[in-house]
Amino acid sequence: MHIALAQSNFCVGGIKNNTEQIIKLVNEARKLGAHIIIFPELAICSYPPEDLLLRKALYEQITNAILQISAESNDIDIVIGFPEKTASGTYNACSYIKEGKQQAIYYKQNLPNYGVFDEKRYFSAGSECCLIDLNGIPTALSICEDIWSPNVAQQAKEAGARLLININASPYHTDKQAERESILKQRVEETGLNIVYLNLVGAQDELVFDGASMIIDSGGNFVFRAPQFEEGLYLIDVQQHADKLEFHSALPSASILDRHESIYQALVLGVRDYVRKNGFKGAVIGLSGGIDSALTLTIAVDALGAENVEVLIMPSRYTADMSNDDAQEMADILSVTYHILPIELPFSAFTELLQPVFSDLPTDTTEENIQARSRGVLMMAISNKTGKLVLTTGNKSEMAVGYATLYGDMAGGYAPLKDLSKTLTYELANWRNSQEQVIPQRIIDRPPSAELRPDQKDEDSLPSYDVLDPILARYIELDQSPDEIVNAGFERETVLEIVRMVDRNEYKRRQAAPGVRITRRAFGRDRRYPITSGYQEF
């Protein structure tokens, strides 16, 4: 038997286009000689559809899509995911289609309701095993979270299955692939089943789905791995013997990406799909000569192509000449169009206009923020004229403590670095330069600065990033208390001040652009704190 794994990239809610893509892949699999093609979780509407699942018309469109897809199954079987509304509830479903008809349907039993998942808001849980016959191989169907606990695989074994198909929309975070492989090994050790694990690829708002589909045999051997972050149709030959199934692929298994490469590819895919799926013509970036905008530009060019990226260099009276030089050098290296638009005129106009109101008040961060907001106006103007999306350049460290200007450097539609600490930003810049020198070394070596007042450095306002970032990781991603962080070796007053900064800046983060999630706890879908709160931890 030949199995085709459709590691595919679909658009949430784009049922018509998704259906056309599915049918195209069915035809391609047929030409390759496949007996069955398998698609990811909720492929027809893609994942996560969120409150689209509350729309009656969604299910009408899905019914029509299933009829179209079923009509293509006369000589090839299809396993595909979609939401199904019934009299007893709405289910995250997986259908086995053969000879033009749905022969069997499975309802997801384990509904995740943590982190970025809220499936219990929409779905009822199934309870029954679904066993089908694939060319004489008793095969059970399952969906994503079902593989993360023993019950569904055990149920399949007791029903007589030899093969378990698990279709997924499993989002990426660092080290996720190692977790998946560990879980699959546990299920095989418990049941002796062979497992086909198929995952969605592509990006949806903050989430990135990295593919990395796999097959593990009953001996616990990974006999095939598909690439991460790449679409593909992979044909697997299955040979049945009395005591085991053997799997063979004409293509070699993909290598597992290292940490920095996987994070970087997630960022590239996140930017590419957000721009493409939302119909923007490219990206606009404010290039300052600093590390954050440099890495953002590199990601954008790798995602969209230099011809689709436009750069604004917007010096102020406080911008160092080397910043302008480095920004222009980088734009030249990457062959992007750039414009030099000094902000002295709008900044002077705003300060002159406000002078009667501010006459008795000292200069403070207000004037710094006016500079940042002048840049925001210019970037949004170019965006409006060109149809290109403004990519903001702030990182997780800055957003955590509020070291960013609302409607200034926070102005824009998408934030590639939103879930990267400043430390990781430097690491990725060095990794990208190790592939090809695209970021001038002086940008990496210089102390970071907003350059909104004379001789300004980030460390004037913040602890050094080698102190700040570990504290933020413990407080935000690990939910440690201030006392636990202090007991880990950090200075108490520093910890308490950082915690205060994080807590009082929730209102800023709520207004920030969405960005790529690469950690277990990102701002946005993962970490949901009230803006107005009297809670104190110390």
DSSP assignments along 265-294, one per residue? HHHHHHHHHHHHHTT---EEEE--SSHHHH
Give start and end residues of each alpha helix (H) in 402-524: 422-435, 441-445, 465-472, 482-487, 492-504, 506-510
Separation between Cα atoms, residue 426 and residue 421, nearest integer Å: 9
Class of domain 266-458: alpha beta
- Active-site residue identified among 45, 129, 130, 144: 144
Q: In CATH terms, are 2-257 and 266-458 the same topology?
A: no
Strands, sheet with 89-98, edge to edge from the N-terminal-most edge strand: 101-107, 89-98, 77-86, 36-38, 2-7, 232-240, 245-249
Q: Report the pLDDT value the prediction gives residue 174, as an integer from 0 to 100.
A: 95
98 catalytically annotated: no
Sheet containing 337-340: order of strands: 337-340, 309-313, 283-286, 389-390
Name the β-bridge partners of 222: 216
pLDDT at position 337 is 97
Residue 447 confidence (pLDDT): 85
Do 354 and 347 contact (CB within 8 A), yes or no?
no
**Any idea where the domains of the chain sit in the sequence?**
2-257, 266-458
Q: Give me the catalytic one of 84, 94, 108, 508.
A: 108
Q: Are 83 and 53 in contact (CB under 8 A)?
A: yes
The CA distance from 433 to 440, in Å, is 9
Burial class from Cβ neighbours inside 10 Å (0-12, 13-18, 19+) for residue 212 reads buried
Class for the domain spanning 2-257 = alpha beta
Nearest to 48 by CA among 96, 120, 101, 104: 120
Q: How many CB atoms lie within 10 A of CB 56?
A: 7
Integer Cα distance of 147 and 143 in angstroms: 7
Residue 28 a catalytic site member: no
Which residue in 276, 191, 202, 267 sits closest to 232, CA to CA? 202
On whether the CB atoms of residues 111 and 120 are closer than 8 A, the answer is: yes
The dihedral through the CA atoms of 108, 110, 111, 115 has a sign that is negative
108 noted as active-site residue: yes
Q: CA distances (Å), 451 to each of 184, 444, 448, in order?
A: 50, 16, 9
Q: 481 forms bridges with which residues in the sheet?
A: none
pLDDT score for 460: 76
Among 295, 119, 209, 302, which residue's Cα sits nearest to residue 518?
209
Q: Looking at residue 451, what is its pLDDT?
A: 75
Distance CA 59, CA 77 (A): 23
Dist CA 229 CA 518 (whole Å) = 13
Return d(Cα 275, Cα 492) in angstroms, integer.
43
- Measured between alpha carbons, how far is 250 from 280 in angstroms, rounded to an integer? 38
- How many whole angstroms separate alpha carbon 20 and alpha carbon 279? 19
Residue 349 · residue 273 · CB < 8 Å: no
- Write down the catalytic residue from 41, 84, 119, 310: 41
Show pLDDT as tens, one digit a residue, over the chain (538 residues). Answer: 999 999 999 999 999 999 999 999 999 999 999 999 999 999 999 999 999 999 999 999 999 999 999 999 999 999 999 999 999 999 999 999 999 999 999 999 999 999 999 999 999 999 999 999 999 999 999 999 999 999 999 999 999 999 999 999 999 999 999 999 999 999 999 999 999 999 999 999 999 999 999 999 999 999 999 999 999 999 999 999 888 999 999 889 999 899 999 999 999 999 999 999 999 999 999 999 999 999 999 999 999 999 999 999 999 998 888 999 999 999 999 999 999 999 999 999 999 999 999 998 999 999 999 999 999 999 999 999 999 999 999 999 999 999 999 999 999 999 999 999 999 999 999 999 999 999 999 999 998 777 777 877 777 778 999 999 999 999 999 999 999 999 999 999 999 999 999 999 999 999 999 999 999 999 988 899 999 998 888 8
Longest dimension (CA), the chain: 90
Instruction: Give the distance from CA 308 to its chain's centroid.
Output: 21
